[in-house]
Structures are given as structure tokens and as C-alpha cells.
Chain A
Amino acid sequence: MAHIADSLYSGFLRSAERFADRPALAIDGREYSYAEVRARAASIAATLAVRAPESGPPLTAVFAYRSVTAFTGLLGTLLRGHGYVPLNHTLPPARTALMLERSRARAVIVDRESAEQLHDILRGNPDVTLILAPDEQDVGWLAGQLPGHKVLGARDLEPGEAWIAPPVDPDAIAYLLFTSGSTGVPKGVTVAHRNATGLMENMVERYDVTEDDRVSQTHELTFDVSVFDMFVTWQAGGCLCCPTQKELVAPGRFIRKSGITIWFSVPSTAIFMKRLGLLKPDSYPGLRHSLFAGEPMPIEVARGWLAAAPGTNIENLYGPTEATIVCVGYRWVAGRSEAESEAGVMPIGEALPGVRTLVVDGDLREVEPGEAGELLVAGPQVTPGYWDDPETTAEVFIVPPGESERFYRTGDRVRSPLPGHPMTYLGRLDHQIKVRGVRIELGEVEAAVREATGVDGVVAVGWPATTTGADGIVAFVGSAGVDIVAAKATLAARLPPTMVPRRFVLLKALPLGASGKFDRKRLLESLAEEKE
């Protein structure tokens, strides 16, 4: 098998040559060597090439959850020369169906557990023709449920030994991820190979990752930090350790049992570990690096983590999917970091190699050091834009006045650093919030609530507020007669659990602010007053 430089998977293939017998993946009590993972992925790639239609966009969906199929399926998709579209069976099937339909992918790679949802997800889908369940011996039951689709199982796989990955255009899509969209439908972010390859190399160097490292894989594949987990590890020849859904519930036990040396999670996981008393002194002596991204990292949690893992480096990384995983980072320095923090959370630090940041005012003019403004990001990690949505792409991927480079408008408020100081994160400019690290557009929640209730006046707010975002969502509905139970059931079938409002407040009319828009601030204050 030959490999082509500068694609997301090149590093994996190099490691598969050098470290064939070393473990590439540990999952569900088993380890898979590089040779084995490569063989499985190559076989999937060959099967896709022979059996999947050539028409349609060069994308293949991977509908698998914390299974060996998920990882070999995604690698096989890349080795086929396609970009992968990760889908997650713990999300409502209606939402998964929408993502799949929007991607227009022709083939879906599936594992056993997720396959049971396929019947619902494929209903009305005009594009998908091939279903590949590479780890299922018997696919008769699935074929029976999916008339009109070609269903292939383990016995139908083509041999992979002779498979040669086709040359990949660095501008080709490596993966397509859907994030919450303010207009009511998920937004697809396309990421090209060239956006990610440099970052992977920089990160292997930054953390001195080697074949002896065992790296956690806590992030869902639908969340782009998982790309870091996988491809930084595989580039270095290390072992990716993926906890099962159940193991994820006991993260401390997982770290010790799996011999994790590099941990990466959303801060929420660390916050809960601290609350549960899992950050006892010296609990995790094997950790070399502990990385956090996705939401603000409270400094008290960083301190607790450092006590539990005295040998670790702690970093807070920042980055939107549109600028490829992480683009700004901050390394904790005892004694100094407390002073550099703002509002109790770690700074986000400085631009990673190759990244250019700009902090601007409403007219896109750079603000003075020490002032707050919107963070813009430029450099090789800035992605081509949104899938099938040139309008939104043109709105947020821009060339500011006086600049020649293309920048992504993050919508995040930061403080422009004074010389010698790190950048600090201040919050969002719009109505996007984070609930346990998951990015949520309140506009999307509001659109869904409007549809579920038939009421136009709807405001969603993050509540209760936490140092990292919010614990959940409260929806205010401007109507006295709404069947809340029915509305919740409708929403639960459409939205991920974190996006379903925990509580509905019915008001005859929603208060208006000076601009004539609904007064969010007053609604939030009403919740705060309740608590007192």
C-alpha cells in the first residue's frame, strides 16, 4: 500500500509501516495493532471503491459509536479518497436523518448498534444506496429491513492488501461535521485535508507524542476534537484508547486502567470529577499532558487536576470547528496563571504555529491591546466554509479592511492581549452557548420550539449559568395555552438532549427591549430573582 503525503491519514500509514505490531486502538477490552487496523480500513476502502456508486459528492457517512467499526470505517473512508461524515446513534434519529440527507452521501458504514436505527434514518432519503456493515457476519436481518438498499457485511468485503489509496487533493474534504445552526437546521462545516495536516504535525511536536503514548478518546466523533485525538495519536504511532459509553462514566478508573499518558476532554468532565472527589492527590501519576477544550476551564479545576496528576502539563485549548479543532492555546504555569486568569477561567493564550489572530471592533478594525473585541482567525487552518451554504460562508469568512488574508469571524469576545500576556476569553457576541461543552445556537432551539408549539414568540436562554456556559436551557413561550409535555416529546425526538429545554415558562406576552426585540436580559433576570 502506497501513501500520499499531505492527507489527514498519511501519518497513520507511516506509523502502520513503522509500528505494525504495536497497538493503534484500544477499545472494549481489546487492542488492535496498526497492521490490523490498516488491513481492516484498506478492505473497507477497497469495498467502497468497487461497490459504492461513483456519483454524488465524495463523502461517506460513518454511523458507528465507540466501536472498532467507527475507527476503521472512518479510516477506510479516507483511504478510499472520500471525506467522512460522522453520525451518532445517541442523537435523535430525525436529526441524524437530516444530517445524512444534507450531506447527500451515497454510502453509509455502520456498526451493529447503530444499524438498528437505519430503518428510521433512511426513510425518504433519496441518495443512499449502499450500506456497509464491515464487522457483521450476518446482514440478512438488516437487508430485510432496508429493501431497495444494497447491504453488505463482513463476508462481502474486498481484500485490502492490494489497495492503493488514490492521490488526495489537499483541498478535498477530509470530514464534514454538523454543528448547531441559528436558522433551525444543523450547519455543515467542511474541513479540507490541508486544514488539518499541519496542525497534526505541530501538535505531535508540541506534546512530544511518541509510540509509547496512550491517548484518551473521550470526544464524540461528531465533535471535531476527536480528529485531534485520533490523528495526533496515529501520526506518532501511539495507542488511541476509546472508553465505551459505560467506561466514560468512570473517567478516573479509565485513566488508570488504560494507562493513559495524554488526556483530552471537555472541562465539564474535569469539573464533575472534582465534584465527585475523583481529583484526590496523586491519583493519576502517569499523565504527561492534560488538555481541555470546548468551553472555559475554571482555574480551581485546573488546580485540582494538577494535584491529582502532579506530573502533568495542563493546557486550555481554544478553537472553532471552522478554524480546524484548536487554533489558540494556553499552558498552565503555577504561580503565574492565577494572575493571568480573568473571571475565574484560564486564559486561552496565544495563537498556535501558523495561526494569525486579530481582535476587532464592530467595524472589523483592530482594537487596542487590553480592549475587548471579536476574535478573527486566519491561516492554513481556516476551512473552506459551510456545506451547500455560500451565503452563511460569505458572512463569516471575510477579508477585513486593510488585510489581504481570509479570516473566520469566531463570534467570540476576547480581550486583546497586552504585550507579553495571554489572550482571555470573555464570552459570545451572539446567542450561541455551550452546554457541557456542546455548542448550541439558541436560535436553533427557538426555531424548534416555535415549530413544536405553534407559537411565534419564543426566547431560549442558557440557565442556570455556570462558569463554563450553562447547565441547560429554559424556554420562554409567549402563550398561556401550550401543551408542554407534548412539546417536550416533540423536541426530544428532534434535538440532542442538551438542546431540549429543561423548563418552559409560559407568559402571556414576552417583554420587549428598547430595540423592539425580545428582552433576553429581563427574562434572565426573572430566573435569577426566582432563585433568591
Chain B
Amino acid sequence: MKYSAFILAMAALPAAANTEINGMVEAKCVIQTDTSGVYGNPTADKLSTASSDGGVIPVVRYDVAIADYYLAKISHPTEFSSSPALSDTVTWTGETSVSQTSDAGMSAYDTNKVVYGSTTEFDLTIAGSTWFKTTSTASYGFGKAFPGGNYTAIVVAECIAK
């Protein structure tokens, strides 16, 4: 009888429950293609992404969730991934730099970048998003005209855990 009264009393209490929402922020790097790049053809022997040459500079965005966990390595092209048959050599130049940041401190990335060969390395010491722009120029032979056709080249964007 006592037990029945107790159970009834409990049932009369308003029901309440706590529901937890759990989340975790882990070290993570996301590479995102932000802006399409296009080669302009200002002279017959030159392809260039510079806006003054009629091109569009490609931009890649890196998002890192936690500071100081990743290195960004971006390489400008040193060959065409597809092109018409070329009988002469192509001279490649390029450069990668910071174009936009989500944190003012990231502007130091440009000062501290390390360049070797066609690769530029940035130490991602601050959490957030950084946009990198990569210029690319290809010059053909000695003043020779590039054959007509489609040319494609690849920028390699790497994110390496430190």
C-alpha cells in the first residue's frame, strides 16, 4: 500500500530530463579552391595569370581549426598537364603570397614564408582562414608563338600536419 502511494506520488511529479549536446573541435585542415584561375595570352609566346595580362589569379583558401598544427605548401605549375604538342621549351615562373586573412596576425605569414623551387611554404600558426594567391607565367621558346589549343596546368596545394 505504501509502495503504491509512493509510485503514484512519483508519477504525479512533472517529468524533466537533461539532454546533453556534445561537440569536439579537433585539429583539421580544409583546402578550398576559392577563385578560378585563367591564363591570359598578352603576347604570342606568353601565358600569364596576371590581371594586366588579361588573366585571373587563382586563390586557394586554407581553413585550420586549431593554431600551429599544419604547414601549407603551395606549388605553382612547372609543366602543362595538357596542351597541344610543344616542340620547344617552356620557361615557368610563379609566386604564392597571402591575399586575404581572417585574422590580422596572419599577415606575418608572407614575411615568414619559405620559398624553394616552385614551392612556397607557410606555417599556419593561427586558427582561421587564409587565402593564398598563386601567379603563374609560361613563356615559350625564344619568342615563339604557343600553338593554338587548350592549355591546362595544375597548382598543388598541400596541408601537412606538423
Task: Say whether A and B bind each other.
Answer: no
